[in-house]
Amino acid sequence: MPLVIAMDGPSGSGKSSASKGVARALGLRYLDTGAMYRAMTWWMLRAGVPVEDAGAVAARALEPAIECGTDPDTPTITVGGEDVSGPIRTREVTNAVSAVSSVPAVRTRLVELQREIIGLGGIVVEGRDIGTVVAPDAAVKVFLTASEEARAARRTLELAADPGVSAQVTQAEQARRDRIDSTRKASPLTKAADAQEIDSTELGLDEVIEAVVRLAKERE
């Protein structure tokens, strides 16, 4: 059966870079499910939907046409044919995505899309509920984490162009997201019972990729 690698973990743990690296190393497709939730959030904000109102978000969850590319070298994300790879990474979207992604109707819609993309496998999928909900039968499950300080520092570097960003602000915003993501009723962020935990605090990207590739080869 074609390989499915589930990469879960909190923001700033290095999931995206590691997942793309593993996909390249093993010749697999790549799916960033977080980008799909960000795309949904971006659309809600642009449409003027009050994102803290779960009912309002649920009522429009079927409207945006979200499409994800699966090439690890050039992953794409579009909404209604519009490239939103840049806009979905803003602080505005980041600070609203947990509220939108906690709405059951949103998760139902996007999990269905994610499972369609995963299909028969041959893919590395990153997110927060891949090993527990989206692909519970994945052959390889990894829970990638890092210290709060390390995760905040990485995120701060990503947002360096934003004058309102500091390590302290980023860590506070990150802690809020972690709290919402871990306590929501719909598919909370949690480590699957059979997932291998990797702490990337003191590891380089290549080391993380090597560890996951090794796990995948052990399943062959």
- Read off the tokens for 84: 């939103």
Domain 4-215 indexed as CATH 3.40.50.300: yes
Q: What is the pLDDT of residue 169?
A: 72
Measure Cα distances from 209 to 18, 21, 107, 212, 213 in Å: 5, 6, 28, 5, 6
The domain segmentation of the chain, as residue ranges, is 4-215
Q: What whole-number distance in Å separates Cα of residue 205 and Cα of residue 200?
A: 8
Answer yes or no: is pLDDT of 123 > 70: yes
Q: What is the pLDDT of residue 209?
A: 97
Q: What whole-number distance in Å separates Cα of residue 118 and Cα of residue 136?
A: 12
Q: Which of 144, 32, 163, 151 is nearest to 91 (CA)?
A: 163
CA 44 to chain centre: 18
Mean pLDDT computed over 190-206: 93
pLDDT, tens only, 72-122: 999 999 999 999 999 999 989 989 999 999 999 999 999 999 999 999 899
pTM above 0.95, yes or no: no
Residue for token pair 């602080």: 91
pLDDT, tens only, 148-193: 888 877 766 766 556 666 767 777 777 777 777 777 777 778 899 9
Q: What is the pLDDT of residue 173?
A: 76
Helix (H, G, I), strand (E, B) or coil at 32: strand
- Read off the tokens for 177: 């997201």
